[in-house]
Chain A
C-alpha cells in the first residue's frame, strides 16, 4: 500500500506538466478550432531559448520569464504566418500545416543548438523530501512545478471568468460571426489565444526539461500524452485538461512503477483508443467528435 501511495505521489509532478501541455492544446482549440501539433515543437524551441538564457544569466527565474515571452511571440508568429492564411474549410490543410511547423522547428533547433540531448540545470532540489522518518518520493522541485501549474490555472480561470478580454475570447470561440457583430475584434482575440497557449506550453517545457533532457525530438512523447489528455478531457475544457492531465500522470507513474516505464506510452495509447471508442467527445465536454 505504501508503494502504491509512493507511486501516486511520484506521478504528481509529471501529471502537472502533462496537464499544462494539454492546457496549451485546449487553449488553441478553444480559440481557433485547430489542434496545434506543433505545440511541443514550440515548447522545445522556447526551452532551448530558456537554456541559453540560463547559461548566460545564471538565473532560472529569468530563463522562465524569457521562455514565457518567447512562447507568446512564437505562438503569435505561427498563427499569423501559417494558420491564419489556411482556408477555413481546409481542416486537413490546417492539421498538415501544424506538422510542417513541427518538422521545421525541430530541424531549426537542431541547427541552432547542435549536440543532441542536453541537460537542463536543476533549479531546485530534486531529491525526495525527508519527513517523519522516511524519504518521500516527492521533491521540492515537484512542489514548485505543482505550485506554478496551480498559479497558471488560477490566472487563466480568472482571465476567462472575470475580465472583458476573457469574455471576448469565449465569445469569439463560441460564435465568431456574432462576436464580430458585437464589436469583438475576433482575429486579434484569436491571436491572443495563440500567444497565451504558446506561453503555457513554454512553461511546461521549462518545467519538464530539468527532469528529462532536452533535444529537438525529446518532447515528442509529451505530444502524445498531451493530446491524449486533451481529447479525453474534451478538447475545450480547461478543467478537463487539468484533471485528466494529473490523472494520466498518476497512471503513468503507476504503470512505470509496477511494470516498466517502456509500457507507459502503450497504456496512454490504450486509454486514448478506449476513450475514442466509448466517449469520443471526451469526459468533460458535450460537443461532437464523431461526424457520422
Chain B
C-alpha cells in the first residue's frame, strides 16, 4: 500500500489546501463584517505577513532583528515610487499594474536584505540586534534627506489602486475621530495633485483566484474600467480649496524618532478616521492584505516545514554541529535574513496601500518594535504565532481603549496603556513561556497527551 502522504508533492498540495481554505474563509468574513472590521482584518493580515518573516528570522534562525520595520519601509517606498512614476513596465513596455509594484517592492526587500544579512549574519545576538536597531532608526531618516524624491517628512501620498468606483474621501464630510490627532490627519488628505496617477488600473484578479471558493468579491462586476475609476477620484482631488496648505504641515508630522508603537503611529489613526467616507475601500484593502498574507504564508509554510526549516533550526541550536554536517551557518543565516526581508517588503507594500501613504513616521522604530512584540507574544518559533501576533497587535490596543473608555481613564493613561501592557507581557512571556501564547498552548496540550517534547 503506497502511503499517499509520502508521495512527492503531497505535502505541497496539503499546504496549498490549508492556505486556500484559510484564504476563502477570511474573504467570506471580510464580506460579512462592517468596514471597520475589514480595516482591522487588513492590518492584522499585513502584520502577520511581516511576522512570518520574523518567525523565520528570530524564531527559527535565532537572529533578533529590529530592522524589519525599516525593510517594510523599503517595500512601501518602492511600491509608492513605482506606482506614482511608471506608466509602463520599463524595457518590457507592458501597461502598469499595481502587482508589478508589489513585485518590485519584493525585489527591493531582497536586495537590501542581502546587504544587511551579509553584514549581520556573521554577528552574534546583541551585535545584530544593535545593528538592526540602528537601521530601524537610520533608514526612515534617509527619507527625510531626499525631500524631492521621497517626500521628506511629509512622505508620499498614494491613490490606492482600487477596483470599484472612485476612491473619493470627500474631505469636508469626514467626521474626524476625536481621538485621532488632527494635525496628523492632514497629510492623508492633501494628495500632491501633480503626483496623483490618473491611471488607476484595477488589480487583476488575485493570483490564488480560481483555486478557492468565496471569491465572489473578485468577479468582473466589481471591477469597473480604469477610466470610470479615474475620473471621480481626479475630480474630487481637485476640489482642494478646503485643504490646509501643504506648507503648514510638514513640521507637525510625527518625527521618525518620536513615534512610539503603531497605536501612537498617527497615520493609522488618521486612516481610520477616513473610514466612513469610503465604504468599499476597506474591503478591498482587506482582500489585498489577506491574499498577500496567504501567498506569503504558503511560501513560509513550505520553507519552515521543509529542509530549509531544519537547516535554520540546526544552525540556531548548534552552528558548529551544523557546519560539521555540511551546512554553511553564515549562508543559512543570510538566507533567513533575505527571506524575512522579502516578506517584510511585501507587507510594507500592503501597508502603503492600507494607509494610502508612505512616510518616515509610519515606518519608524515603533513599527519594528511592534513586530518584535507581536512575534514574541504570539510565539516566535512557529508561523501560527505570527498570526496570533498579528491579531494581538490590532486587538489589544482596541481592547485597552475600550476598557479605558468605560472606566473613563485620562488620555495620558489610555494612550500609553497598550504599550505598557505590551512591554510587561513581553518580559513575562520571555520569563515564563518562551514559546509565546502558541507555545504555551502546545505545552499545555502536550502535558495532557504526554507526547515527546520538542524545544520551543
Query: Which residues of A come within 8 Å of B, CB atoms?
Result: 29, 34-35, 37, 82, 85-87, 90-97, 99-108, 110-111, 114-115, 215-218, 220-221, 223-224, 227-228, 231, 235, 260, 262-263, 265-266, 268-269, 272-273, 276-277, 280, 288-292
Could you tell me if B427 and A289 are in contact, using CB atoms closer than 8 angstroms?
Answer: no
Could you tell me if A265 and B323 are in contact, using CB atoms closer than 8 angstroms?
Answer: no
**Known contacts A91-B125, A96-B64: does B416 contact A224 (CB below 8 Å)?**
no
**Known contacts A220-B365, A268-B138: does B420 contact A108 (CB below 8 Å)?**
yes
- B426 CB contacts on chain A under 8 angstroms: 96-97, 99-100, 103
Q: List 16 A-B contacts (CB under 8 A).
A: A90-B434, A91-B125, A93-B430, A95-B129, A103-B422, A105-B423, A106-B416, A107-B416, A107-B417, A110-B412, A114-B412, A217-B259, A268-B134, A273-B119, A273-B131, A291-B319
Of B130, B260, B376, B430, which one neighbours A35 at CB under 8 angstroms? B130
A46 → B minimal CB distance (Å): 17
A231 → B minimal CB distance (Å): 6
With the chains together, A104 CA to B420 CA distance in Å? Answer: 4
- B330 CB contacts on chain A under 8 angstroms: 292
Asked if B258 is an interface residue, CB under 8 A from chain A, the answer is yes
Could you tell me if A265 and B141 are in contact, using CB atoms closer than 8 angstroms?
Answer: yes
Could you tell me if B125 and A272 are in contact, using CB atoms closer than 8 angstroms?
Answer: no
Counting chain A CB atoms within 10 Å of each CB, which of B120, B258, B261 scores highest? B258
Could you tell me if A227 and B420 are in contact, using CB atoms closer than 8 angstroms?
Answer: no
With the chains together, A264 CA to B85 CA distance in Å? Answer: 30
**Known contacts A103-B422, A265-B141, A266-B142: does B127 contact A82 (CB below 8 Å)?**
no
Give me the 7 closest cross-chain CB pairs, A-B, nearest first: A104-B423, A100-B426, A114-B412, A103-B423, A107-B419, A35-B126, A107-B420
Could you tell me if B260 and A99 are in contact, using CB atoms closer than 8 angstroms?
Answer: no
With the chains together, A114 CA to B416 CA distance in Å? Answer: 10
Could you tell me if A86 and B419 are in contact, using CB atoms closer than 8 angstroms?
Answer: no
Instruction: Identify which of residues 37-54 in chain B touch chain A, using a CB-to-CB cut-off of 8 Å.
Output: none
With the chains together, A150 CA to B410 CA distance in Å? Answer: 44
Query: Which residues of B come within 8 Å of A, CB atoms?
Result: 58, 62, 64, 66, 119-120, 122-127, 129-131, 133-135, 137-138, 141-142, 144-145, 257-261, 319, 323, 329-330, 333, 365, 369, 372-373, 376, 380, 410-413, 415-420, 422-427, 430-431, 434
Could you tell me if A262 and B144 are in contact, using CB atoms closer than 8 angstroms?
Answer: yes
Could you tell me if B412 and A37 are in contact, using CB atoms closer than 8 angstroms?
Answer: no
- A100 CB contacts on chain B under 8 angstroms: 373, 376, 422-427, 430
Which chain A residue has the least Cβ–Cβ distance from B422?
Answer: A103
Counting chain A CB atoms within 10 Å of each CB, which of B134, B365, B410, B417 scores highest? B134
- B380 CB contacts on chain A under 8 angstroms: 92
Counting chain A CB atoms within 10 Å of each CB, which of B373, B424, B431 scores highest? B431
With the chains together, A37 CA to B333 CA distance in Å? Answer: 23
With the chains together, A34 CA to B64 CA distance in Å? Answer: 13
B16 → A minimal CB distance (Å): 32
Could you tell me if B131 and A86 are in contact, using CB atoms closer than 8 angstroms?
Answer: no
Could you tell me if A292 and B319 are in contact, using CB atoms closer than 8 angstroms?
Answer: yes
- B260 CB contacts on chain A under 8 angstroms: 106-107, 110, 216-217
Counting chain A CB atoms within 10 Å of each CB, which of B127, B129, B144 scores highest? B127
A143 → B minimal CB distance (Å): 28
Could you tell me if B135 and A269 are in contact, using CB atoms closer than 8 angstroms?
Answer: yes
Per DSSP, are chain B's interface residues mostly helix, strand or loop, or mixed?
Answer: helix
Could you tell me if B133 and A103 are in contact, using CB atoms closer than 8 angstroms?
Answer: no
Could you tell me if B125 and A92 are in contact, using CB atoms closer than 8 angstroms?
Answer: yes
Could you tell me if A276 and B119 are in contact, using CB atoms closer than 8 angstroms?
Answer: yes
- A29 CB contacts on chain B under 8 angstroms: 126
Could you tell me if A289 and B124 are in contact, using CB atoms closer than 8 angstroms?
Answer: yes
- B329 CB contacts on chain A under 8 angstroms: 291-292
Of A91, A101, A227, which one neighbours B133 at CB under 8 angstroms? A227
- B124 CB contacts on chain A under 8 angstroms: 91, 288-291
Which chain A residue has the least Cβ–Cβ distance from B413?
Answer: A111
Which chain A residue has the least Cβ–Cβ distance from B63?
Answer: A92
Which chain A residue has the least Cβ–Cβ distance from B258?
Answer: A217
- B417 CB contacts on chain A under 8 angstroms: 107, 111
Could you tell me if A37 and B423 are in contact, using CB atoms closer than 8 angstroms?
Answer: no
Could you tell me if B431 and A262 are in contact, using CB atoms closer than 8 angstroms?
Answer: no
Which chain B residue has the least Cβ–Cβ distance from A220?
Answer: B257
With the chains together, A29 CA to B137 CA distance in Å? Answer: 23
Q: Given contacts A96-B426, A99-B66, could you give 4 more A-B pairs where the C-beta distance is less than 8 Å?
A: A86-B430, A221-B137, A262-B144, A292-B329
With the chains together, A114 CA to B426 CA distance in Å? Answer: 24
- B122 CB contacts on chain A under 8 angstroms: 280, 290-292
Which chain B residue has the least Cβ–Cβ distance from A108?
Answer: B420
Could you tell me if A276 and B123 are in contact, using CB atoms closer than 8 angstroms?
Answer: yes
Could you tell me if B131 and A276 are in contact, using CB atoms closer than 8 angstroms?
Answer: yes
- A90 CB contacts on chain B under 8 angstroms: 430, 434
- A82 CB contacts on chain B under 8 angstroms: 427, 431
B27 → A minimal CB distance (Å): 34
Which chain B residue has the least Cβ–Cβ distance from A93?
Answer: B430
- A268 CB contacts on chain B under 8 angstroms: 134, 138
With the chains together, A105 CA to B373 CA distance in Å? Answer: 15
With the chains together, A87 CA to B365 CA distance in Å? Answer: 27
Could you tell me if B431 and A103 are in contact, using CB atoms closer than 8 angstroms?
Answer: no
Could you tell me if A272 and B423 are in contact, using CB atoms closer than 8 angstroms?
Answer: no
With the chains together, A260 CA to B144 CA distance in Å? Answer: 11
Could you tell me if B127 and A276 are in contact, using CB atoms closer than 8 angstroms?
Answer: yes
With the chains together, A188 CA to B381 CA distance in Å? Answer: 34
With the chains together, A86 CA to B425 CA distance in Å? Answer: 14
A52 → B minimal CB distance (Å): 15
Of B64, B319, B413, B419, which one neighbours A92 at CB under 8 angstroms? B64
